[in-house]
Amino acid sequence: MKHKADGNAALQKGDFSAAVAAYTKAIDCDGANHVFYSNRSAAHLSAKNLQNALDDAEATIGLNPDFAKGYGRKGAALHAMKRYNDSANAYEEGLAKFPSDAGLKSGLEGCIKDRDTPEWQKGGRGGGMGGMGGMGNSNPMAGLFGPEMIKKMEQNPKLKEYLNDKEFMAKIDMLKRDPNSLQMMMGDPRIMEVFQMMLGGNVSFGGNDEPPPAPAPAPKRKEPEPEPEVDTSNFTEQELKEHNDKKAAVALKTEGNELYKKKDFDGALGKYDEAIAKDPKNMTFISNKAAVYFTQKKWDEVISACEEAMEVGKANFAPFEDRAKCLTRWGKTLFKQGKVGDAIEKLKESQLEAYQKDTERLLKTWELEKRKADVLAYQDPDKAQEAKDRGNAHFREKRFGEAVKEYEEAVKRDPNNPPIRNNLAAALCKVMDFNGAKMHIDKALDMDPKYVKAYARKGDIHVLMKENHKALDAYRAGLALEPDNTACKEGATKVTNMINMGSQNMSEDEKRERAAHGMADPEVQNILQDPVIRQVLQDFNEKPQAAQQAMRDPGVASKIEKLIAAGVLQVGR
């Protein structure tokens, strides 16, 4: 997890290249971990490497189709590429599996808004590239940390100094693109100082007024120049014969190509053989035979021809591109034979000869398919139970690190077993990996929405993460299924008392951390975007009676209570 932590730290600082490098190292250590691909997709998106962001998002979904963020990453990348319909499809695909996911909903809303808004009306939105969810102008962070914030900071003697800090401004820019990055920002008290300043004043939720840069003009295509005639006047008899044989061989190859197009495969092979007889040092003619065999699905003959072509090519210093093309065809043949590992190695050899984007994409696809196949082949419920039993023994003896390893092994062996993930979440909490624990408990509930013990565990995790509003929701969900569940009842009582006590016993750092966790919740962000709520918050300072009147509305009261429970709005100070 060290490389992932390094990537998160680099992403927080706005050093996107370093973040990509760190996440790549994490992938090299564990290529089957979908979270690493998801994080690298976010880093690529922040660096505007849009195709790479899309490739990693698709890899995330391929490795784990039940990971909601994967669809959000894909939607965000496509949104930034202005492929609005494809982006909407990605969000909708995710919402079909996770209908209540706020990030996917917000992302889809922003995508559709940008798609349906004429370019001349978009102003400074620049295509509406959102962050994690591709939310465009619907991203509340883009408004909270917009131009009005800069004006207010300039008027504040303390805060205006932050505007000269490049690292701080990089964080602000990142928050505009990806509201979920706030979790990584909570270690910087300056972010929360600015946020607290904005709660007390008028906040504009408009977009950026800067127009998008004009696209660079496409380079003019250069017409190919005709090959110059070779002067043969000084050739020896042998050199002249070789020259004429090469010309004849090329002509025979052209005839073979025409026959191939007409599906006269035997005739094409005959012409290629004649070309080889005329010019045995040219690997292209042998490669053409391999292409015919490939079309005929004669896999052994393809491999034999490719081997011969590579021998001839290396011996006669054939162009690297020709050798790469031959190796790629060789790899495709191995893939057709079901030899996926060997096929991947051939494509890697091809890339060493001459890098080709199409081959690289094919290589990534095959590597992903192989990882998925390896994951499926590794599954074994009986061995999962054995690993779970070993994990339980370690947990009872308080060897939590060993327990985590055994539970993770059990998950790999039986990934659709909710109790195993529940146990893993408990062990991860003991080693302070709360995000990992939350991820596994959410998966357990996706698999079994009536698993009350998982709701109790989820509430406990949110308490540890200082997300009391989410903890209370989790305990209440468990009690709705099992009203007498002791763990959920005790948890709900404990959290309610914590909320009622407010922040009286908290240090300033604890208050900031709790507020940062709350702000990372899309539901809280949407509440803060509500103009009615913003007015009520302002009235608490300026017109207390108007604020009390507004609190009589159950909807307003519920939202304010959510902000208080989240620690975003502090009372009793």
pLDDT tens, position by position, 221-265: 665 555 566 666 677 888 888 889 999 999 999 999 999 999 999
pLDDT in tens, 269-281: 999 999 999 999 9
Please write down the long-range contacts of 155-161, taking CB distance under 8 Å and 24 or more positions apart. Answer: 156/197, 158/193, 159/190, 159/193, 159/194, 159/197
- Looking at residues 8-19, what average pLDDT do you find? 84
For residue 543, name the pLDDT band (cuts at 50, 70, 90). Answer: confident
Residues present in the chain in total: 573
Higher pLDDT, 569 or 142: 569
CATH fold of 238-377 reads 1.25.40
- Looking at residues 171-177, what average pLDDT do you find? 71
Tell me the domain boundaries of the chain: 2-138, 142-199, 238-377, 508-566
Residue 216 has pLDDT above 70, yes or no: no
pLDDT mean across residues, the chain: 83
For residue 145, name the pLDDT band (cuts at 50, 70, 90). Answer: low
For residue 177, name the pLDDT band (cuts at 50, 70, 90). Answer: low
Contact predicate 546/538, CB 8 Å = no
pLDDT at 194: 75
Higher pLDDT, 15 or 378: 378
Dist CA 104 CA 238 (whole Å) = 72
Supply the Cα-derived Rg of the chain in whole angstroms: 31
Higher pLDDT, 179 or 256: 256
For residue 333, name the pLDDT band (cuts at 50, 70, 90). Answer: very high
* Domain 508-566 grouped into CATH 1.10.260: yes
The domains spanning 2-138 and 238-377 adopt the same CATH topology: yes
CATH of domain 2-138: 1.25.40.10
Angle, vertex CA 416, rays to CA 411 and CA 418, nearest 5: 80
Residue 399 has pLDDT above 90, yes or no: yes
φ and ψ at residue 459, rounded to 5 degrees: -60, -40
For residue 206, name the pLDDT band (cuts at 50, 70, 90). Answer: very low
Q: What is the pTM of this model?
A: 0.50
Higher pLDDT, 436 or 62: 436
For residue 186, name the pLDDT band (cuts at 50, 70, 90). Answer: low
Dist CA 503 CA 572 (whole Å) = 8
pLDDT at 131: 38
Higher pLDDT, 503 or 269: 269
165: phi > 0 → left, psi -120 to 50 → alpha, else beta; which? beta
